[in-house]
Amino acid sequence: MPIEAISALIGLLLTLLVFSYLIGDNPLFRTALYLFIGISSGYAAVVVWHAVLVPRLFLPLLSADPGQLLPVVVPLGLSVSLLAKLSARISWLGSFAMALLVGVGAATALSGALVGTLIPQSRAAMGGIFMAVGTALTLAYFQFSATRAADGSVKRNAIFEILAQLGRIFIAITLGVFFAGVYMAALTAMIERLSSMINFVKSLLS
């Protein structure tokens, strides 16, 4: 049997296992789920080994060039110190590396949000009155100065209440568009899988 037929057969079986979730959670669906998680984890581990650990850690450590060895020592030391977190007695040894990791991660996320999201969106909002109005109304809906009454209802200023209701409409439209996009992507993937299954069965019968 050619490799293409074997791949198509495996894809057909896995598709049927996933579709079995339509009748409820069952061992067949969980088998496909565990296979997906295991293969994804294995693939990620292989990529990390070949693309990160070998070229950026082991090869510089085995090199006699100090210029390649020195930049690896500090990251390696910080990585090893994180293992101290496994023990409560010596966990303080990994505190500096953990703080550095969290600080760099937070700074990277913040700069990425500013440069990649907030600033471009602000420029786009300034370029269109409709987008600016929609942004303002949405922010009015999430006004943090609103108070909550004894019955659990949210109390706002009368003007902010009108703006908040208009913002609620914008939010509903946005969520509807997002849901439609996700639904269309899922529907396209399902059609592609069904088409692949039908073509495979036709090839077996022909």
CA distance 148 to 16: 50
Helix (DSSP H) and strand (DSSP E) numbers for the chain: 8, 2
Helix (H, G, I), strand (E, B) or coil at 154: strand
Q: What is the dihedral of CA 28, 30, 33, 37, to 10 degrees?
A: -130
C-alpha closest to that of 77 among 102, 94, 53: 94
State residue 153's pLDDT score: 65
Instruction: Pick from 5-14, 89-98, 138-147 the range whose average pLDDT is largest.
Output: 89-98
CB half-sphere exposure, 26, CA atoms < 13 A = 10
Residue 136 CB-density burial (10 A; 0-12 exposed, 13-18 middle, 19+ buried): middle
Whole-angstrom Cα distance, residue 9 to residue 40?
A: 20
Whole-angstrom Cα Rg for the chain:
27
What is the per-residue pLDDT across 22-38, written as a single tens digit (0 to 9) for each?
A: 888 888 889 988 998 99
Alpha helices in the chain (DSSP H): 3-19, 27-48, 59-62, 66-82, 95-113, 119-127, 129-141, 158-205
> At which residue do the structure tokens 């039908």 appear?
198
Each residue's pLDDT tens digit, 162-190: 877 888 888 888 888 888 888 888 888 88
Q: Is the pLDDT of residue 105 over 90?
A: no
